Amino acid sequence: MVANRGFQSTGARTRHRLIEAAYELLAEEGYPAFTARRIAARADLKPQLVHYYFRSMEDLVVTVFQRSSAAYFRLHDEALSSPRPLHALWELNCNLPEAKRMLEYVALGKQYPALRTEMRKSGESFRALQVEAIETIYALRKLDQPQIRPAALAVMMSAVARSLVIEEQVGLTSQHGEIRAVIEDYLDRLEP
């Protein structure tokens, strides 16, 4: 008879405590703190419970990323449902609530292939929704030959916002106003 493993119980309170502890640690202390011992201590539990509730540290980091992704997806959906979705999306990405964790996920992704896969799938989903929203706005504005194609605008908005967020993390903000003005001017023309 196979022993009952905690990772088969997704509703366990202890499991959720470990997920929350890992989530908080990533934002506060970064990827070096992502260890079974540190996460368990943060949750006020024994380190062995991490391996009882998760097959591996990779399984835990993917679960924590999925939590972050779900939170961002809710905000993303709200932005795309707003009266000016591209402006709302731009603001969301420039003030990314998960920015600190995202940098840590990127660092952990070097170590955990399943996390990279999950990040890619999540990013592709967000990108597809953004392109669709831009295509809808272009169609409403009857822009058959837009200055910037929908996919390019989606990538540009995401990449520039991410770059601004990363630079702000280290205190580099010079010329941020100028690039923001360029993008916001273009968005103003699409969504007056």
Same domain, 73 and 113: yes
Distance CA 93, CA 190 (A): 18
- One domain, residues 101 and 38: no
* Mean local confidence (pLDDT), 28-57: 95
Residue 16, domain CATH? 1.10.10.60
When the pLDDT of each residue in the chain is averaged and rounded to a whole number, the result is 92
| 51 and 79 part of one domain | no
pLDDT of residue 28: 93
Domain containing residue 14: 1-55
pLDDT for the residue numbered 63: 97
Query: Do 164 and 83 reside in the same domain of the chain?
Result: yes
Same domain? For 32 and 70 the reply is: no
Q: What percentage of residues in the chain have a pLDDT greater than 90?
A: 85
9 — pLDDT class (breaks 50, 70, 90): low
Considering the domain boundaries, does residue 32 fall inside one? yes
Q: Do 142 and 80 have their domain in common?
A: yes
Position 66 pLDDT exceeds 80? yes
- Domain tally, the chain: 2
- Give per-residue pLDDT as tens, 130-143: 999 999 999 999 99
Say whether pLDDT at 8 is over 60: no
Whether 155 has a pLDDT exceeding 80, the answer reads yes
To the nearest 10°, the Cα dihedral for 17, 112, 156, 70? -30
Q: What does the pLDDT average to over 135-155? A: 95
Q: Note whether 172 and 89 are same-domain residues.
A: yes
Residues 17, 79, single domain; the answer is no
CA 163 distance to own-chain centroid: 14
Tokens of 79: 């932005």
Same domain? 83 vs 139: yes
Name the burial class of residue 39, with classes exposed (0-12), middle (13-18) and buried (19+) by CB atoms within 10 angstroms of its CB. buried
Average pLDDT (68-83) is: 94
Q: Identify whether 31 is part of a domain.
A: yes
Q: How high is the pLDDT of residue 16?
A: 95
Tell me the backbone φ, ψ of residue 84, rounded to 5 degrees: -125, 80
Q: Determine, yes or no, domain membership for 160.
A: yes
Looking at residue 144, the DSSP 8-state letter turns out to be S
Mean pLDDT of 64-75: 94
Residue 60 lies in a domain: no
Instruction: Let me know whether 18 and 97 are in one domain.
Output: no
Q: Euclidean distance between the first and final Cα of the chain, in Å?
A: 65
Same domain membership, residue 179 and residue 124? yes
Same domain, 105 and 147: yes
Residue 61, in any domain of the structure: no
pLDDT for position 89: 95
Among 7, 62, 61, residue whose Cα is nearest residue 33: 61
Q: What is the distance between the alpha carbons of residues 105 and 5, in angstroms, rounded to a whole number?
A: 26
Length of the chain in residues, anyone?
A: 192
Q: Is the pLDDT of residue 1 over 80?
A: no
- The values of phi and psi at residue 163, to 5°, are -60, -45
Share of the chain above pLDDT 70, in %: 94
Single out the residue of 43, 39, 2, 47 nearest to residue 22, CA to CA.
39
**15, pLDDT greater than 70:** yes
Given a cut of 50, is residue 125 above it in pLDDT?
Answer: yes
pLDDT digits (tens, 9 = 90+) for 162-171: 999 889 888 9
